[in-house]
Structure 1
């Protein structure tokens, strides 16, 4: 890919935007080296990587990429025997730790069944090196200082230093608190000069203290004196400091040798971390521009849906559909200047370069981009004062160079082809150049304001005219691309709107040839037809929406009517049943009276007549049938993720998570997840609304076995607080009433940070330090509400 076309299409500005989304210096370095590829397989792999990272960001929100440094110079210097500084060693340990945190993050993604073949392929090369990290962290603090724990000898020396320093201070403090101190001292303080403790003595009292003068004030009135009584103590202190420095150097040399032994592994890790940071920078950039992954081909076919120029602000840019490579291979965009023609060809050029560099493009899903071997662009005012070239000459130099290399695997963008010279000759040259490029099979988009090129689009197969819409009423371009409609100059209409006399305009029309007027009339007719078609389509869409609304309302009212009807019929039936039941009771009472009368008065009433009379009463009772409520029979519902089901073989209820094959589903029963054959699943129903409010997919499997303790020892401050936040959320989801956070005693910074975070957390009831048997102040016990 020619570097000149990258500059012409402003691909360098795309890289500048991408740099903002990288998290580390090594990620930014990769982004700065970004360049399009011409290999379809490589481009497809890059697009897959970016899409995988975009999916991770969509579902997880972020990825832990903090604490990564460019440690390549440190590792190489250690390899050749150089001694590293404490700060350099700290950066190496931090980078190793960052790699391990990132590896754990990807392990969790795999546990939650993320499909990330390309990203995992990179992560498999990452080497953990926990021993080297622990060795450095044991000796070097988070701020790059050598810790007392680095060696027993260093701890002893520093204890001696602190003891001797206390003695010196005690001596000097007794001197500055004496009764004469206020008179003889400029200030009652102890300070340091040349790494030795001194006091500020007034010039006239220098002989009262003796000792060594190390410095004086700018006025000369104050001398900084090391009194004779502390000279020997200061000497002892200096000797201890020299011993400390020698021991620190010994420790640094030992650690540097350990780093040198792992140089190869460290360089591999840097390469992997840089690649992961770079891939996720591309994913973040795609999110920022609302990009999508395009389909790729090597057949020169381009289909951009609602494509936008990525360098124009989102509230100003106009989206356009651009097609090329199927029915036509050349688009000729005609029309006046400042109408948006250049923006259109830059959009397709930039989208092509971005796609071939593995970036998602600012277009809708379903877009397709070809991978071209060459992309050529001749755009803008190429006038060169240094080479004494006019605009036309500069354009021709570019075009001559393009014609040397263009072939059927090329995308060629011409802006104002043939401009800068005599219109008739320029139009003829433009047509000839288009013919040549078309014969070679290249995909071409050219802009021009020559009317002769409008006819070129009609006369050549595989070539189509296009224009950028111009609103004559507002005298402003709309920047909307109209493929199939050639552009008009609109000069007469604009002049009329601006107030030019009709007589002048009509006189101007008389100078236009009949053919030109005919073409202009045809274009105007096409534009009017297109506008009418768009208006009709909008009206049809509005009618369709209204019809659907009326249809839904009618369905709802019909359903309510039948439900009301069924309810009234049921009430009437129940009332009738009550009346019949009352009648039956009265009849039974009558029969009972008759039977009693027969027994008492020997009335001539047969028993079988009584039974028949009661039977006739029962037969007169109507059977009440409840009407069915559903109006429309629903087809049997298929199993969907989130459904409540019963696993027949276990006899347990659970919820469907997702389909894992044609015949198997993943089902969660309590805290267990298992694959179950569809034939072994009985559908109970859709999830209840309150359950649906928290989708199952948002609950990670690890949350069901959260540890009761979180160990933060060895973690950096920012990473530690991030882990605390996530751990508290996990513990709350697991339903724990109490957990412990182990932060160690150390300097107290991490302990204070954890305490402050817990104090402001709405779900924390209270927190306290551990008891003597729980770890003391190195542990914080948290109780939840």
Structure 2
């Protein structure tokens, strides 16, 4: 990637912001080395890994990456036989623990059916060194102190240390509590000098205690003396301390050797954690700037929706749509200074660099960017006093370098192309340079002040004019990019708003050619039309969203209604069944009582009379009507036939049977729709009368069945009416009782023409618009006499 482009587009500042989201020095080091990739497959993979990390951040909010350290130097020292310090071993244990936590975290997420193939591939490389971690933590605490539990010998030595220190303090404290101590000691305290216990004695009483002088005060009036009576105890204490230190050294050496045994596993852990820290830093940064993952291509297409410059605060930056590389490969942006032209260039260039580095871009979902071999930028004033280069010369040096390198897979950004020299010559140079770069197939955006370049986009294929909007009322730029609209001069309008005399302005207008005035008026009209179109487009989007929401709500309510209906029917059937069972039980009880009476009282009740009584009781029980869907109005079961009119109960819609699909399933025509419906979900309505002379539904002279609907969408008016006339004749020959004509909604002209024709047709009995399930006003239902 071109170094100068990275500098002028401020990619380094993006990396500085990104570093703030890394959790360890490992991640920060990888960010410092970050450069955009030019390999398409690699960029796609980088974007995919960032997207996976963004998914994790969205679900969990954060990741367990604390406690990660750069232990590569520690590993290297342990391998060559060096003894690691307790603090270094603690960092190794902490890093091992962090790797285990991260591995478990990602695997648990994956088990929750979250697709994380790249992150899973990363953590799969981690080998949990649990034993090494536990051995280190068993021997050393988090502050780097070797614990008593590290070995039995160390515990014993420290117990001896504490016992000896206690005896020494007791001896010294008895000395400072004696009757003479108050006048001989500067202070009644026990202190330590050179790791030995001493007491502060006044200069004149130095010989009273004997022993060894270890230190004196700055004034020389106080001596810190180790009394003779505790010299031997202090010597014993020092011996134990030496043994303690030797044991600590042995423990650290042993742990260092064990660390060296896992050199390769620890290096893998470090590499994986560095990658994960880097990946999640990208995701966190993307969340901060409200970025999204762009779709990447290798065909030079750019489509950024509501793109923002990532280095400008979100509440200040103006979002713009930037399209390039599909219908046109060059954009020429004109407009006033401070209008946002340069920001537009930098937004596109920086978004391209970010995407190729695997970063998400500050734009709406669905944005698309290309992977370029190089991004070139000539932006800013590069005047160099040391090299005796003017502004024009410095720009030209850079442009020459670009022209020597650019090819079809390059993105080129020119800011104020041709500026800094004679306007006429500068405009000619700008046109020539644009021609050269455009000819090579590169993607180009150039900004300019020259009016000659406004016509550039009209004279060349694949070139588009654009401008940045300026609000004359507020005398300020809106920073909004207008694609397809060239910039115009606002000098006269601004001067008028600022109070310049109208006569002076009119005089100035007279010095401008009529062609220029006409062009400015045309551009102003284009700007107004574009603003209106954008407003209407936004309104249409809002209406579409509302309609989609209403549609979803209606679908949901409909499903809930049918679920509730089915539930209520099942409940009613269960209740009815319970009533029947109770009635039968009661009947059985009555029969038993009657038989008992006959047996006991010898009542004259005959068996056949009991049977008749039981039959009457059964008939008196409530009848559960299992289904009336297949019964006609006369109460007889109807055998369905093609052409029958039925009511589809699940949709509460009328339809016509087309053909049997299986033993209990039919294809039903409901308006313009055909669907499979089971017989149990249909109710018979009627059978259309058949004309005896034409029993077949085959049109004479044809060998295909006439469809029950005619689709006119996309047809020209005259052709559509001819098709309607022929179709009505075919439908009448096929003896159809009704047909559907699909004309769509559109402007209404086709619908009106079709309905006028049908109203005047002698065989048409009635026409109506389709119902909600039949297509609404986009369909006309025709019924024949």
Question: Could you state the TM-score of these two structures normalised by the residue count of structure 2?
Answer: 0.69
* 1:435 equivalenced with 2:435 (yes/no): yes
* 1:382 equivalenced with 2:379 (yes/no): no
**Which position in structure 2 is the counterpart of 1:176?**
176
Shift of 1:444: 0.3
> For residues 312 and 541 of structure 1, what CA distance do their matches in structure 2 show?
28
Q: How does 1:273-288 map to 2 (within 5 A)?
A: 273-288=273-288
Shift of 1:163: 1.1
**Which position in structure 2 is the counterpart of 1:4?**
4
> For residues 354 and 112 of structure 1, what CA distance do their matches in structure 2 show?
31
**Which position in structure 2 is the counterpart of 1:188?**
188
> What is the CA deviation profile of residues 209-232 of structure 1, one whole-angstrom value per residue up to 9, with x for unaligned ones?
111111111122211111111111
> For residues 435 and 53 of structure 2, what CA distance do their matches in structure 1 show?
44
Shift of 1:520: 1.4
- Bigger radius of gyration: 2
**Which position in structure 2 is the counterpart of 1:426?**
426
CA contact (8 A) 2:107 2:120 kept: no
* 1:25 equivalenced with 2:25 (yes/no): yes
> For residues 66 and 551 of structure 1, what CA distance do their matches in structure 2 show?
48
CA contact (8 A) 2:23 2:277 kept: yes
> For residues 552 and 464 of structure 1, what CA distance do their matches in structure 2 show?
40
**Which position in structure 2 is the counterpart of 1:128?**
128
When structure 1 is superposed on structure 2, of 316-325 and 100-109 the one drifting more is 100-109
**Which position in structure 1 is the counterpart of 2:694?**
none
**Which position in structure 1 is the counterpart of 2:497?**
497
> For residues 17 and 381 of structure 2, what CA distance do their matches in structure 1 show?
25
> For residues 159 and 389 of structure 2, what CA distance do their matches in structure 1 show?
79
* 1:457 equivalenced with 2:443 (yes/no): no
The verdict on how the C-alpha distance between 1:635 and 1:109 changes in structure 2, with shifts beyond 3 A counting, is: farther
Shift of 1:330: 0.4
Q: How does 1:29-48 map to 2 (within 5 A)?
A: 29-48=29-48
> For residues 135 and 530 of structure 2, what CA distance do their matches in structure 1 show?
74
**Which position in structure 1 is the counterpart of 2:404?**
404
The verdict on how the C-alpha distance between 1:48 and 1:192 changes in structure 2, with shifts beyond 3 A counting, is: same
User: Secondary structure in 1 aligned to 2:323?
Assistant: strand
User: Secondary structure in 1 aligned to 2:192?
Assistant: strand
**Which position in structure 2 is the counterpart of 1:145?**
145
Shift of 1:515: 2.4
> What is the CA deviation profile of residues 610-665 of structure 1, one whole-angstrom value per residue up to 9, with x for unaligned ones?
xxxxxxxxxxxxxxxxxxxxxx98759xxxxxxxxxxxxxxxxxxxxxxxxxxxxx
**Which position in structure 1 is the counterpart of 2:271?**
271
The verdict on how the C-alpha distance between 1:302 and 1:265 changes in structure 2, with shifts beyond 3 A counting, is: same
Shift of 1:107: 2.2
User: Secondary structure in 2 aligned to 1:309?
Assistant: coil
> For residues 45 and 373 of structure 1, what CA distance do their matches in structure 2 show?
17
**Which position in structure 1 is the counterpart of 2:565?**
none
> For residues 439 and 537 of structure 1, what CA distance do their matches in structure 2 show?
35
User: Secondary structure in 2 aligned to 1:477?
Assistant: strand
**Which position in structure 1 is the counterpart of 2:525?**
525
Shift of 1:455: 0.4
> What is the CA deviation profile of residues 70-126 of structure 1, one whole-angstrom value per residue up to 9, with x for unaligned ones?
000010011111111110011111111111111111221222122111111111111
User: Secondary structure in 1 aligned to 2:282?
Assistant: helix
**Which position in structure 2 is the counterpart of 1:319?**
319
User: Secondary structure in 1 aligned to 2:201?
Assistant: strand
Shift of 1:506: 1.7
Shift of 1:536: 5.0
The verdict on how the C-alpha distance between 1:204 and 1:47 changes in structure 2, with shifts beyond 3 A counting, is: same
The verdict on how the C-alpha distance between 1:271 and 1:434 changes in structure 2, with shifts beyond 3 A counting, is: same
**Which position in structure 2 is the counterpart of 1:342?**
342
CA contact (8 A) 2:66 2:98 kept: yes
**Which position in structure 2 is the counterpart of 1:215?**
215
CA contact (8 A) 2:489 2:520 kept: no
> For residues 156 and 541 of structure 1, what CA distance do their matches in structure 2 show?
80
User: Secondary structure in 1 aligned to 2:215?
Assistant: strand
The verdict on how the C-alpha distance between 1:52 and 1:139 changes in structure 2, with shifts beyond 3 A counting, is: same
Shift of 1:518: 2.1
**Which position in structure 2 is the counterpart of 1:446?**
446
**Which position in structure 2 is the counterpart of 1:80?**
80
Shift of 1:295: 0.6
**Which position in structure 2 is the counterpart of 1:368?**
368
Shift of 1:539: 6.7
User: Secondary structure in 2 aligned to 1:466?
Assistant: strand
> For residues 538 and 282 of structure 1, what CA distance do their matches in structure 2 show?
32
Shift of 1:131: 2.1
Unaligned runs of 5+ in 2: 556-647, 653-785
> For residues 546 and 474 of structure 1, what CA distance do their matches in structure 2 show?
34
Q: How does 1:237-636 map to 2 (within 5 A)?
A: 237-536=237-536
> What is the CA deviation profile of residues 722-766 of structure 1, one whole-angstrom value per residue up to 9, with x for unaligned ones?
xxxxxxxxxxxxxxxxxxxxxxxxxxxxxxxxxxxxxxxxxxxxx
User: Secondary structure in 2 aligned to 1:485?
Assistant: coil
The verdict on how the C-alpha distance between 1:451 and 1:77 changes in structure 2, with shifts beyond 3 A counting, is: same
User: Secondary structure in 1 aligned to 2:163?
Assistant: helix
The verdict on how the C-alpha distance between 1:634 and 1:405 changes in structure 2, with shifts beyond 3 A counting, is: farther
Shift of 1:313: 0.2
Unaligned runs of 5+ in 1: 556-631, 637-785
* 1:96 equivalenced with 2:86 (yes/no): no
Shift of 1:60: 1.5
CA contact (8 A) 2:99 2:269 kept: yes
Shift of 1:513: 2.2
> For residues 343 and 81 of structure 1, what CA distance do their matches in structure 2 show?
57
The verdict on how the C-alpha distance between 1:327 and 1:271 changes in structure 2, with shifts beyond 3 A counting, is: same
CA contact (8 A) 2:469 2:480 kept: yes
> What is the CA deviation profile of residues 445-470 of structure 1, one whole-angstrom value per residue up to 9, with x for unaligned ones?
00001101100011111000000111
The verdict on how the C-alpha distance between 1:41 and 1:534 changes in structure 2, with shifts beyond 3 A counting, is: closer
Shift of 1:531: 3.1
> For residues 66 and 549 of structure 2, what CA distance do their matches in structure 1 show?
52
> For residues 547 and 416 of structure 1, what CA distance do their matches in structure 2 show?
46
**Which position in structure 2 is the counterpart of 1:233?**
233
> Between Structure 1 and Structure 2, how many residues are aligned?
573
User: Secondary structure in 2 aligned to 1:214?
Assistant: strand
**Which position in structure 2 is the counterpart of 1:687?**
none
> For residues 536 and 178 of structure 1, what CA distance do their matches in structure 2 show?
100
Shift of 1:501: 1.2
User: Secondary structure in 1 aligned to 2:336?
Assistant: coil
CA contact (8 A) 2:354 2:360 kept: yes
Question: Could you state the TM-score of these two structures normalised by the residue count of structure 1?
Answer: 0.69
**Which position in structure 1 is the counterpart of 2:709?**
none
> For residues 52 and 551 of structure 1, what CA distance do their matches in structure 2 show?
32
Shift of 1:544: 8.5
> For residues 546 and 265 of structure 1, what CA distance do their matches in structure 2 show?
56
> For residues 440 and 413 of structure 1, what CA distance do their matches in structure 2 show?
15
Shift of 1:554: 14
Shift of 1:344: 0.4
Shift of 1:345: 0.8
Shift of 1:377: 0.5
When structure 1 is superposed on structure 2, of 330-339 and 155-164 the one drifting more is 155-164
User: What is the CA RMSD across the aligned residues, in angstroms?
Assistant: 3.0
> For residues 117 and 542 of structure 1, what CA distance do their matches in structure 2 show?
37
